Structure 1
Amino acid sequence: MSESKAFILGCSGQTLLREEIRFYRGECPWGFILFARNISEPEQIRDLVAGLRDCVGREDAPIFIDQEGGRVQRLRPPLAPNYPPAAAIGEIYQRDHEAGLRAAWLHGRLHGFDLARYGVTADCLPVLDVPVENASDVIGERAYGRDPEVVARLGRAAAEGLMAGGVLPVMKHIPGHGRALVDTHFELPTVHEPLEQLRQHDFIPFRALNDLPAAMTAHVVFDAIDPKGPATTSAKVVADIIRGEIGFDGLLMSDDISMKALAGDFSDRAAVILNAGVDIVLHCNGVMEEMRAIASKVKALEGEAAKRAERALSVIGAGHKDSEDELRAEFAQYFAIMA
């Protein structure tokens, strides 16, 4: 078995191409991520997941997915129910705090049941961004609300629900995406807010959940901290804010580096991200030419990054022996889920 390298990759379709198998075996990414293009029916997903792990010779290779609920949900009926977005949980919380916290926990726990069926072991959830007026709707209803303390409480409950199901939660987008005026899939946003305001608002949920095992960076420039580049590529943001002020010492992965918010060719993007102190580079679209360019600059996962990765993997397991039917019935008291 080759030593794992510090990146997470996607694949192009529902079955692995020979070229992909050779590439993954040679480069040995630490983990993989699935999107809707990779998903059709239960056995196909299980076979794909098993094939990805076989390529790297590690049964514990984490398989990530964006399974939030609402408009960001890769597994859809009949593979998994349609779930409400985070904002709907926030609305429950506004009416009844205890009910909202329970709904958030159930939301995470039920995702755990769904993902375990297919061998998926990591969910890019909770979203801890706090939107502001006039921000891009790229976050929108994916957020639990506009009060950072509420976002922190509900995000904590969702993360604990995932971990109760043996799934690794990945909080995003650290240190905060809520003020972005444009969609980072297409443009690079710059936030002009003073640092003190960021401390008193945007950073709060991440600081409150700084003990979680994994986080994903924001492709957002904070010009009060580093006007030259987004958090994902900024050594100053990573060291002073994410590791420093926020106090996060878990596994730090980039957001998808194929997004148009980032500049430069893919080999340069990967090098700059790792040099900034991010532990893992994430590339999602499965385009072989881009993956090869990234692989040319990504090294073995080692040192503190490897220790953080091991701690993150330790969260993954069989899950508590909860009654799925009972928990789904309880959740249905809060939401009407369409199968």
Structure 2
Amino acid sequence: MIGALMLDIAATTLTQEDIELLQAPQVGGVILFARNIESPRQVRALTDHIRSVRPEILIAVDQEGGRVQRLRQGFTALPAMGRFGELYRSEPERACHLARQCGWLMATEVLAVGIDFSFAPVLDINDISDVIGDRAFADNQEHIIILARQFMQGMQEAGMATTGKHFPGHGSVKADSHIAAAIDSRSYDEIHAKDMQSFIQLQPQLDALMPAHVIYDQVDPHPAGFSKFWIQQILREQMQFDGVLFSDDLSMQAAGVAGGADARIVAALSAGCDMGLVCNDRDAARLALSAIENFALPNQTRLERMRGKIPKLSIGDTLDLGTEWQQCVDTIQAFKNATAN
């Protein structure tokens, strides 16, 4: 059974403490960071070890492209998604083709090393946010929808589930919710028209969503990830979204409005999230775990959809995944090099 807490590990191999934590029934996932990565061979050995300890666990990573990609040494350096938006203005067909190839390439490499899914793509708009910027595909919803759909089709063709973030939109909020409280004082109608359309229009391709740690104070007093209005009323009832809802990292500064890690995960799960993330703070992860020990396990059918099609293969220190993969690597690297700032 898959539990409701996703946590991280400190190093490139599992410690005895890690192993004991992974065996707790309410631990359902592990997210990997750059500190956990040395080479493709090492990552595959690590994920295989994690699954030997807890076979049903979900393993995730942030491999968006651009400045947010944890798998670097031995992996393809992916462009920021904003590069596809820039190309789309002059060569829309080529931009769509490249976005699809990039989604396939990212997913193929991530799956090859035993990771189920990347928290991707970003569906926010590139507006005033300090933390979104060119992580977004474009500065308008029409282009975001077109390009993100192509990127997700590539992911799904490779065998990876998709996770759209950060619902209902983080791009129109200047503050970085990792380090500060983020408040958006626009009306619901403004948010719906400017930021939410990518999430609404792309819902058929979305397997999961991640709500933003943003307070939309004219709509609801709680951050979206702690809000029954956003999660129950809008996502589950109005939009009829039946995919997985992952909280954003509950260790982020903007999540502090709920209290400690124990209160934060209780708030997220009580609002309707399926799984809460507590990263980069082992004491906080233990506190969160103790707070939900007696909670019912999350919806297993939903969470099972996030399991990636991980190939059975031997991985070396550098990836070699066949002719189609190599052609895709060459294409994406040439595009990235041509668009480097």
Q: What is the TM-score when the length of structure 1 is the normalising length?
A: 0.90
Sequence identity of aligned pairs in percent? 33
Greater shift, 43-52 or 328-337, is seen at: 328-337
Deviation of 1:327 (Å): 2.4
CA distance in 2, matches of 1:129, 1:322: 34
Could you say which residue in structure 1 is the equivalent of 2:277? 282
Q: Are 2:44 and 1:64 aligned?
A: no
CA distance in 1, matches of 2:55, 2:30: 13
Could you say which residue in structure 2 is the equivalent of 1:201? 194
Could you say which residue in structure 1 is the equivalent of 2:164? 171
CA distance in 2, matches of 1:95, 1:312: 35
Could you say which residue in structure 2 is the equivalent of 1:29? 27
Contact 2:101 2:328 in 1 (8 A): yes
Contact 2:88 2:95 in 1 (8 A): yes
Could you say which residue in structure 1 is the equivalent of 2:315? none
Instruction: Provide the alpha-carbon RMSD of the alignment.
Output: 2.1
1:317–1:48 CA distance, 2 compared to 1 (3 A): closer
Counterpart of 2:62, as a letter, is: D
Deviation of 1:316 (Å): 3.5
Could you say which residue in structure 1 is the equivalent of 2:234? 241
Contact 1:207 1:248 in 2 (8 A): no
Contact 2:262 2:289 in 1 (8 A): yes
CA distance in 2, matches of 1:327, 1:114: 11
Deviation of 1:318 (Å): 4.8
Counterpart of 1:292, as a letter, is: R
1:62–1:4 CA distance, 2 compared to 1 (3 A): closer
CA distance in 2, matches of 1:252, 1:221: 17
Q: Are 2:188 and 1:188 aligned?
A: no
Name the SS of the counterpart of 1:32 in structure 2.
Answer: strand
Deviation of 1:28 (Å): 5.0
Moved over 4 A (4+): 317-322
Could you say which residue in structure 2 is the equivalent of 1:214? 208
Q: What is the TM-score when the length of structure 2 is the normalising length?
A: 0.90
Match of 1:75 among 71, 76, 91: 71
Name the SS of the counterpart of 2:14 in structure 1.
Answer: coil
Counterpart of 2:49, as a letter, is: G
CA distance in 2, matches of 1:14, 1:200: 44
Q: Are 2:124 and 1:129 aligned?
A: yes
Greater shift, 62-71 or 290-299, is seen at: 290-299
CA distance in 2, matches of 1:204, 1:245: 14
Could you say which residue in structure 1 is the equivalent of 2:38? 40
1:45–1:128 CA distance, 2 compared to 1 (3 A): same
Deviation of 1:332 (Å): 4.5
* Aligned pairs for 1:1-339 within 5 A: 3-27=1-25, 29-58=27-56, 61-77=57-73, 79-132=74-127, 135-211=128-204, 212-226=206-220, 228-263=221-256, 264-285=259-280, 287-298=281-292, 299-302=295-298, 305-313=299-307, 316=309, 318=311, 323-332=324-333, 334-336=335-337
CA distance in 2, matches of 1:25, 1:332: 40
Deviation of 1:328 (Å): 2.7
Greater shift, 84-93 or 329-338, is seen at: 329-338
Name the SS of the counterpart of 1:331 in structure 2.
Answer: helix
Gapped runs of 5+ residues in structure 2? 313-320
Aligned residue pairs, count: 326
Gapped runs of 5+ residues in structure 1? none
Give deviations 1:124-166, integer Å, cap 9, x for gaps: 111000132xx23200010111111211111111111111111
Deviation of 1:91 (Å): 0.9
Contact 1:217 1:255 in 2 (8 A): yes
Contact 1:254 1:282 in 2 (8 A): yes
